[in-house]
Structure 1
Amino acid sequence: MVTEASLPQYIYKIVPSTAPVVQPLPDRLPVSELDQTSGFVHLSTASQLANTLKFFFQEEPLVYILRIEYSRVAQYIRWESPDGKVCGPRPGEGLFPHLYNGLKLGHDEVESVAVWQNDNGWDQALVGAKDWLLF
């Protein structure tokens, strides 16, 4: 269960290399097919990023990580299972933040962007981002 005391300072969106994130950020970034089909933007907390990368982005050469200040979007977040159902979490990962704001993710929501390289797995990128990846 997510409580007020356990709310993160930041949440994150992983964008694959096939959808490059341009700077300056537009008002609204393109929406992934998964997000479009789901009707919400799939996000992760800092502690969930490693497994999300390993399970869903293992073949990506690089990804864009969008850091979103939680307070900017808190009113539109629902904490749910990865598929959008309010039920039990995946073992050890807890519930995921899902953004229900009409699929809008752009300069108003995103605080900063990082580019991570897949160097035979995501471990090096995660270690290199330890000062940027905030909980």
Structure 2
Amino acid sequence: MSRPTYIYKLVSHSTPVPEPIPETLPLSELDVQSGFIHMSTALQVSRTLKRFFAEEPRVYVLRVDYSVVEKDIKWEDSKGEAPGEVGGDGMFAHIYNRGLGAAEIESVVVWERNGGNWDEALKGAESWLVY
């Protein structure tokens, strides 16, 4: 598969993204435990959102220019245990040895969960979610 233009970080409503975005955002508990920052491609955002943020009332979605962080990415399964090809099926972009902040984040949106699911937010974001 081709290399993505953007990759995305979903952030819980309980840790709002400050404005302006600082030089480095704090890591999520999962990212600290894993030793890398979990990212999703535009094609993976829906599954990530529905699996890990199903009960959240809102999420922050950070769009990161892939070319800016590419040298620090390993494509691996979700647990970081099996390497794979760029954008491969079941492979996720994991950022190692660096944080994310103003220099890497191209834009941020806030999505609200309406009617008990994320479908409306995802439909409204189709043009923003770019592989």
Q: What's the TM-score, normalizing by structure 2?
A: 0.92
Offset, 1:68:
0.3
Task: Answer whether contact 2:62 2:105 (CA < 8 A) is retained.
Answer: yes
Match of 1:48 among 41, 44, 47: 44
Q: Which runs of 5+ in 1 are unaligned?
A: none
Structure 1 residue 57 and structure 2 residue 53: aligned? yes
The match for 1:36 among 25, 32, 37 is: 32
* Structure 2 unaligned spans of 5+: none
Following superposition, the deviation at residue 131 of structure 1 comes to 1.4
- Residue 105 of structure 2 is matched in structure 1 by 110
Contact 2:4 2:66 in 1 (8 A): yes
Identical-pair percentage: 52
Provide the residue aligned with 2:14 in structure 1: 18
Distance of 2:89 and 2:53 partners within structure 1: 17
Q: Does 1:74 align with 2:70?
A: yes
**Contact 1:48–1:93 (Cα < 8 Å) also in 2:** no
The ranges of structure 1 where at least 4 consecutive aligned residues each deviate by more than 6 angstroms after the TM superposition are: none
Q: TM-score, normalised by structure 1?
A: 0.90
- AA paired with 1:54? K
